[in-house]
Amino acid sequence: MLEIANVTMRFGGLVAVSDASMSVREGSITGLIGPNGAGKTTLFAIIAGFLRPTEGTITWLGDDVTAMAPHLRAASGIARTFQIVQPFSGLNVRENITVGAYLRHHKPADAVGKARDVARQVGLHEDLEKSASSLTVAGRKRLELARALATEPKILLLDEVLAGLNPSEIRDIIPVIRTIRDSGVTILMIEHVMQAVMNLCEHVHVLAQGRMIAQGTPVAVCDDPAVIEAYLGRGSAERLARHGAADA
């Protein structure tokens, strides 16, 4: 469905992403993990069209979209969330989600109807008239998810959607992510909460210092010596191997 081939991104003398390649299978939940500063969010920006890579290509549904503008990629079915959530604070929850829905629904009544459906899907249906600025961190994360989902994407890029959540909030949102995938939306997610990665993802790619150093099932990746050295550490890897997804 999505193919990233030999992508390099340079900012002057800084190489943020170096010759990175990966693919995402339709209908999957795919993980992208790695240490802070590895280039994961930069790669998301390239996929979504906010950055044009110095080298390499992005192929989406069989077409080369490397030079395609972000709004055209959104129209083609690519949506993303942002690591730092920034809702329209002067609007309520319903209005925030409706902004995304206008991509496909030009009549206000239709866009509002879509917003209500999405709010129910992500668990915000009781908060539609609340000011976006009054939401908790968990609520803002769900709102960020809802705004992207309202564009009716074919693939959803989730950038640390679990960051800042406590364990019970993480447990509550994991089924929401699964339900989104089950509704027909492919998911590519950046995440540091490794138990969630183990629980959700079928395939994982590991980025470190801008380079892809491993890929495979979550279990295989967590057992990879290069991943342990660059990212997980021996203790975390052993805990994940011992407990697997049972603790998620």
CATH class of 1-75+155-161+176-248: alpha beta
- H, E, C per residue of 165-211: CCHHHHHHHHHHHHHHHHCCCEEEEECCCHHHHHHHCCEEEEEECCE
Mean pLDDT by 10 residues, the chain (248 residues): 98 96 97 94 97 98 97 97 92 97 97 97 96 95 96 97 93 95 97 90 95 94 88 69 52
The confidence score (pLDDT) of residue 139 equals: 96
The confidence score (pLDDT) of residue 229 equals: 87
The confidence score (pLDDT) of residue 246 equals: 46
- Cβ neighbour number for residue 177 with a 10 Å cutoff: 22
Per-residue tokens: 177? 């992510």
State the Cα–Cα distance between residues 49 and 70, nearest whole angstrom: 4
Q: Give the residue ranges of DSSP H helices in the chain.
A: 40-48, 70-76, 93-101, 108-122, 137-149, 167-182, 194-200, 218-222, 225-227, 234-243
- Please count the CA atoms within 13 angstroms of the CA of 223 that sit on its side-chain side: 8
The confidence score (pLDDT) of residue 238 equals: 66
Supply the angle between the helices 108-122 and 167-182 in degrees, to the nearest 10.
130
Residues carrying CATH 3.40.50.300, the chain: 1-75+155-161+176-248
Q: What Å distances lie between residue 18 and 63, 117, 202, CA to CA?
A: 22, 40, 25
The confidence score (pLDDT) of residue 248 equals: 39
